[in-house]
Chains A and B, each alone.
Chain A
């Protein structure tokens, strides 16, 4: 295949008055007459091919191989079979990390997404000038990186002086001295609260866009048919936003499973008392960069990949069946 673009003069000669219609017909048939056009898409994609080969496919293969080796130092490695996997699967810390990650995923699914949807519904109710303002206010935390949010919230969670503790105290007359980041039982709730602030607005934007695409005449028809607000929501709005909701559910679950930077910085570059803020990626990070054990890290990576694949497949399947039901 000729990968070099031909000089423009050569193309000119190849062109007849009917070239455009012919090219159209050919391109839709899956082949192109001109050698120039045939190589063009590959040239346009060349940077992607190179980057993907070097920084995706090769490391992916390498990670697969590494997972079966014990590494010590940059050069020495010995084949250990499934030992890395069995080590991880017998490590109580892994289950702690898994539990914390699942807890976070469940919270973002059942706390954060309903909140995002609720806010989107509130904002979508009527067109008004304040809408842009509120949308901006609720979205703005996303301008701040996870690292900054982590340390900012570490200060908001300070016993006695932290803003969050003061707010809780003003509301419930208790909890001023709560050590959110020092009490193993409260570390994950603290991470979840910080992530709520950070991400509620982000998913709200998706829901808002989906709500605006809903056919208003359908809602009107339901209203005329005497459907109540709840029924309209259940039978018109929810099916209308189902594709976006599936997208948001799957992406935010995948994101939850990759949680790392927020707890890592919230807990001052650590994993909390008794590893109470350890996530799967944090567990992987411990092996790879704190312990220089790339083999076990790769094994953890594969376990995480399988987990994510499994969970997202289940979610997509579930959303598919619910859509068929209606």
Chain B
């Protein structure tokens, strides 16, 4: 019987005993035990990811997570692993490479990642992809924020001819899957000359029905009096939107920004299709090349994935509350 089985049996037995003696306590115990188990299960891949990225690629499969601390500093060469025999190599650099012995825990993956990567289109430094992704995500978020909130404001606070029809049209458009439009959009992007430019990614996505609905939902809750007061004070319509309305929907703004940033940061399909030059690629596409059919550099890939998770994680921790309220506002407040 494995340790895990024993552990689970003891856990279950303890719960049963508690439940028989003190049912209330037993119920709380079961609840926490289940939550802790599920929480651990959800965290395991992250723990694995972190430990795999700091392990030397040679020992990546030798330990489930981290090797025991006693061997952290030992050389990572496995038994029976034949490295290049030193006397057969004349090139001094190769000798150094061959005799360089790394410990089992090292930063080799990160060092290898943080260099010029040889690609068919010449060397590209890894930081380039991070900058691309940061730029794309920020630009998409800014554009989306401006145009979606404008649309949401118009749909929430104006009565105009065609409004209800437009609302129905927006709802209906949500049911058309995006991939149906992928092939024709490919041709349109091509004809517009957007191929291999960021315009191909930023312009089609700069305003979304989802965003318009999100802001409409938030702005609906603002009393009309505020807008009327602004009009009496002589503010133009755009100024009312910018200086009166937008500050009032700040929680929704951060929620929208986080959702859009996350979506763009992680998007793969569109950049994979529309971008061709290597120096323009965002992080997910570039990282995916590391584990292609011919080239499988898993250690480097995992280090890159770890780096790719950091920016969204920071944003999420900062805006967690708004994010969750923004996600659910569309569905709960019906």
Q: Which A residues touch B158, using CB under 8 A?
A: 27, 37, 40-41, 44
| Given A161-B61, A170-B2, also A63-B180 (CB < 8 A) | yes
| Residue B153 at the chain A interface, CB threshold 8 Å | yes
CB distance from A325 to the nearest CB of B (A): 19
- Contacting A at CB under 8 A, from B29-76, are 31-32, 34-35, 38-39, 42-46, 48-49, 52, 61, 64
Is A70 among interface residues, defined by CB-CB distance under 8 A? no
Q: Mark B166-179, 1 if CB is under 8 A from A, else 0.
A: 10000001011111
Q: Are B268 and A210 in contact (CB under 8 A)?
A: no
The CB with the most chain A CB atoms within 10 A, among B153, B158, B184, B231, is that of B184
A289–B166 CA distance with the chains assembled, in angstroms: 33
Q: Which residues of A contact B302 (CB under 8 A)?
A: 152, 155
Decide if B266 is an interface residue (CB 8 Å cutoff): yes
In the complex, whether A102 has a CB less than 8 A from a CB of chain B is: no
C-alpha gap A14/B154 in the complex (Å) = 22
CB–CB B237/A5 < 8 A: yes
Q: Judging by beta carbons under 8 Å apart, are A20 and B332 in contact?
A: no
Which residues of the partner chain A approach B181 to less than 8 Å between Cβ atoms? 55-56, 59-60, 63, 301
A258 interface neighbour in B178, B237, B265, Cβ under 8 Å? B178
- A66, B184: Cβ atoms closer than 8 Å: yes
Q: Are A304 and B163 in contact, CB atoms less than 8 angstroms apart?
A: no
Chain A 17-39 near chain B by CB (<8 Å), digits 1 or 0 = 00110011001101110001110
Say yes or no for B228: interface residue by CB 8 A criterion.
Answer: yes
The proximity string for A residues 133-163 relative to B, scoring 1 for CB distances below 8 Å and 0 otherwise, is: 1111110111111111001111110101101
Q: Which one of B77-85, B95-103, B105-113, B203-211 is at the A interface? A: B203-211
A143 to B265, CA, bound (A): 10
Give the nearest-CB partner of B169 in chain A: A52
| Segment at the interface with B among A92-100, A217-225, A231-239, A243-251 | A243-251
Contact status of A8 and B207, CB under 8 A, knowing A20-B228, A44-B153, A145-B266: no
CA distance A59 to B185 in the complex (A): 6
A24–B184 alpha-carbon span in the complex (Å): 44
- The listed residue (B2, B42, B154, B155) touching A201 by CB distance below 8 A is B42
Q: Is A274 an interface residue (CB 8 A)?
A: no
- Which of B14-22, B122-130, B323-331 forms contacts with chain A? B323-331
A-B contact count (CB 8 A): 278
Say whether chain A's binding surface is mostly helix, strand, loop, or mixed: helix
Contact A20 B231 (CB under 8 A): yes
Q: Which of A105-113, A117-125, A180-188 contacts B (4 or more CB under 8 A)?
A: A117-125
Docked-complex contact B238 and A5, CB < 8 angstroms: yes
A48 at interface (Cβ–Cβ under 8 A)? yes
Q: Would you give the 0/1 interface string for A302-326, flagging 1 where the beta carbon is closer than 8 Å to chain B?
A: 1011001100100000000000000
Q: Which residues of B contact A247 (CB under 8 A)?
A: 331
Give the residues in chain B near A261, CB-CB below 8 Å: 268-269
Verify B177–A308 contact, CB threshold 8 A.
yes
Is A294 a contact of B187 with CB atoms below 8 Å?
A: yes
A68 at the B interface (CB under 8 A): no
Is there an interface contact between B305 and A44, defined as CB atoms closer than 8 Å? no
A263 CB, min distance to chain B CBs, angstroms: 13
- Given A31-B159, A143-B316; 14 other pairs, CB 8 A cutoff: A44-B151, A51-B206, A55-B185, A59-B188, A62-B184, A145-B268, A158-B61, A166-B64, A205-B324, A209-B324, A209-B331, A244-B328, A244-B331, A258-B177
A–B complex contacts, Cβ < 8 Å, 9 sampled: A24-B224, A37-B158, A44-B154, A47-B207, A138-B38, A148-B287, A197-B42, A258-B177, A258-B178
